[in-house]
Amino acid sequence: MRYSRHSKILELVKTQQIDTQQRLAAKLKASGFDVTQATISRDIKELGLIKVPGKYGRSVYAVSSRNDNSDSERFRKILRETVVEINTAVNIIVIHTLSGCAGAAAEVIDNLGFEGIVGTLAGDNTIFIAVDSVENVPVVKKLFEESMAE
């Protein structure tokens, strides 16, 4: 449930101007997550969300672009705990996750910055990863597998 909630939080802060914990809690409740202010506060800390200037002059939540070692290990843990299966098709890697976790796992993939990845697209439990060439697919797949094994 936590990873599903984290995935939804990441989606919300990327697509909407969320300026307060109360607004985030309301959006999560509208999406079916029963949360408290303490849960929201803890999630913001765990996800490393930061406040940045928003469109309308208010500070809004955003995903931090920093990528230090503690973030890197936390990201790898999310991959280890949510990824169910990895498949390939031509220059696309298809990752199946636990239900509701694809968004969080895709965010991890984006933040880890694997070379050769052109972009990611996440649904509820599936991620499509476009790789820059067919030749790089086995290399990128191996990077995922190694990241999850650590």
pLDDT digits (tens, 9 = 90+) for 109-150: 887 777 788 999 999 999 999 999 999 899 888 887 877 776
Residues 82 and 144 in one domain: yes
Structural domain containing residue 104: 69-149
Residues 88 and 129 in one domain: yes
89-100: pLDDT as tens digits: 999 999 999 998
Question: Looking at the DSSP assignment, which residues form a beta bridge with residue 83?
Answer: 97
Q: CATH no. for residue 113?
A: 3.30.1360.40
Number of structural domains found in the chain? 2
User: Rounded to a whole number, what is the distance in angstroms from the first to the last CA of the chain?
Assistant: 24
pTM given for the model: 0.57
**H/E stretch holding 137:** helix 137-149
Residues 86 and 47 in one domain: no
Angle between helices 2-15 and 21-30 (to 10 degrees): 110
Environment class of 116 (CB within 10 Å of its CB; exposed 0-12, middle 13-18, buried 19+): middle
Backbone angles phi, psi at 25, to 5 degrees: -60, -40
Residues 93 and 23 in one domain: no
Residues 36 and 81 in one domain: no
